[in-house]
Amino acid sequence: MTSPVSSEAFVRFDGVQKSYDGVNLVVKDLNVDIPRGEFLTMLGPSGSGKTTSLMMLAGFETATHGDIFLNGRSINNVAPHKRGIGMVFQNYALFPHMTVAENLAFPLQVRKMGKAEVKERVQKALDMVELGVFGNRRPAQLSGGQQQRVAVARALVFEPDLVLMDEPLGALDKNLREQMQYEIKHIHERLGVTVVYVTHDQSEALTMSNRIAVFEDGRIQQLAPPTELYEKPENAFVAQFIGENNTLTGRVDAVAGGICEVVLDNGDRVKALDINTDGAGHGTTLSLRPERVFLNPVDGQCQNMFSGLAEEVIYLGDHIRVRMNICGHNDFIVKVPNSSDKKGLAKGDTIPVGWSIDDCRALDA
């Protein structure tokens, strides 16, 4: 049974900063509330501050400024092993000289649990990750995916309220990685445990999370559910980092009723939603998802209409990817479903192209 996500903060970062050299901040004024039962992913490129934020929550790094609260209590001065937090790392961090069962028993024995309870919890945790018959094997006798499942089971075996995962699937191949994404997601749904997850893989974040915090330059650029993050990016960085995105640059010519008219660098005019531009006369970046662009649109379907040249046509099974020269850009991407009327597409074709105002977002330059 899935536990509901509480609306109250279970984890809170309050004005948290981190500097390693006393001059440069790698985490700048982090403020975020994580309700009990949520799966929150910290997503961003290398050096954006996401892993440092996780390590401060775990207690392996100390905040330079600000407070971190767990269940209403400041944990700034609480040792890592006294925070009651489960951890899963990319390199599994299993004890090679111990069996799988002994690895899982270790955090329970540290907590002075009785032998009968230890045995019961270990078996329960192994069954949860579908490794019930592997208790007597050593980590080296398991596949990478099995070792990662053991690492997840060890983090959950003492029934913590909070589990932190730092790039836990980074060492796995693509198919196994995708399988483990669903397994971790389903375990979270069944147990209702709070999970804070770090990754640089945006598809992984979209697949697993209740909310995603997008980090860049030590700050959260946007914090939102996956659908909102993808459909309604608040700035150019988020639009570019989350999923594939066409970017057009230009100058705002006029704004009225939440819609702006933009003169692109090549002189073409585009109408777009005015999300956070600085108004007429200022530069802007337009964000447009490749799957929201229409080839040969029907009359009235699109408010923005242009003619594009197909530079490259790639067949990808369920969809066709077309790289076009349009509006002065030769890297404009269109993704269309693989249907009978699209099979004649070829390099060199000149094609009518269009998109809706509602799918084009004018953002900060």
In CATH, what number is assigned to the domain containing residue 292? 2.40.50.100
Same domain (yes/no): 60, 155:
yes
Assess if residue 4 is contained within a domain. no
Report the alpha-carbon distance of residue 14 to residue 65 in Å, rounded: 9
Assess if residue 2 is contained within a domain. no
Same domain (yes/no): 51, 139:
yes
Of the segments 112-126, 208-222, 294-308, 332-346, which one has the largest average pLDDT value? 208-222
Same domain (yes/no): 228, 256:
no
Same domain (yes/no): 28, 125:
yes
* pLDDT attached to residue 4: 52
Instruction: Report whether pLDDT(48) > 70.
Output: yes
Assess if residue 3 is contained within a domain. no
Same domain (yes/no): 350, 218:
no
Instruction: Report whether pLDDT(2) > 50.
Output: no
Same domain (yes/no): 213, 286:
no
158 or 76: which carries more pLDDT confidence?
76
Q: Which of 236, 271, 294 is the last residue of a domain?
A: 236
Q: Which of 172, 201, 236 is the last residue of a domain?
A: 236
Same domain (yes/no): 137, 178:
yes
Assess if residue 1 is contained within a domain. no
Same domain (yes/no): 295, 332:
yes
Same domain (yes/no): 31, 180:
yes
Let me know: does 204 contact 177? Beta carbons within 8 Å. Answer: yes
* pLDDT attached to residue 116: 92
Within 10 angstroms of residue 105's Cβ, the number of other Cβ atoms is 22
pTM of the full structure: 0.88
* pLDDT attached to residue 3: 45
Instruction: Report whether pLDDT(1) > 70.
Output: no
The per-residue pLDDT for range 49-71, each reduced to its tens digit, is 999 999 999 999 999 999 999 99
Number of structural domains (the chain) is 2
What's the alpha-carbon Rg for the chain, to the nearest Å?
24
Residue spans of alpha helices (H) in the chain: 50-58, 100-110, 115-128, 144-156, 174-191, 202-208, 226-231, 236-241
* pLDDT attached to residue 196: 97
* pLDDT attached to residue 324: 96
Assess if residue 207 is contained within a domain. yes
pLDDT tier, 112 (very low <50, low <70, confident <90, very high otherwise): confident
Percent of the chain predicted with pLDDT > 70: 97
CATH number where 177 lies: 3.40.50.300
- Give which of 29, 6, 329 is closest to 162, Cα–Cα: 6
Let me know: does 270 contact 262? Beta carbons within 8 Å. Answer: yes
The per-residue pLDDT for range 303-327, each reduced to its tens digit, is 999 999 999 999 888 889 999 999 9
CA distances to 47, 84, 146, 289, 312 from 239, in Å? 19, 36, 35, 9, 24
Same domain (yes/no): 24, 165:
yes
Assess if residue 339 is contained within a domain. yes
Report the alpha-carbon distance of residue 115 to residue 108 in Å, rounded: 9
Same domain (yes/no): 254, 232:
no
CA distances to 37, 38, 192, 224, 233 from 87, in Å? 16, 16, 16, 24, 31
The per-residue pLDDT for range 235-278, each reduced to its tens digit, is 999 999 998 999 999 999 999 999 999 999 999 999 999 999 99
The per-residue pLDDT for range 3-39, each reduced to its tens digit, is 455 557 999 999 999 999 989 999 999 999 999 999 9
* pLDDT attached to residue 12: 97
Angle of the 100-110 helix axis to the 115-128 helix axis, nearest 10: 130
Assess if residue 284 is contained within a domain. yes
Please report the DSSP string for 318-358 in residue order. SEEEEEEEETTEEEEEEEEE--GGGTT--TT-EEEEEE-GG
Assess if residue 146 is contained within a domain. yes
Q: Which of 236, 253, 282 is the last residue of a domain?
A: 236
Same domain (yes/no): 188, 216:
yes
Q: Where in the sequence is the domain holding 332, given as residue range(s)?
A: 244-364
Sign of CA dihedral 135, 139, 143, 144: positive
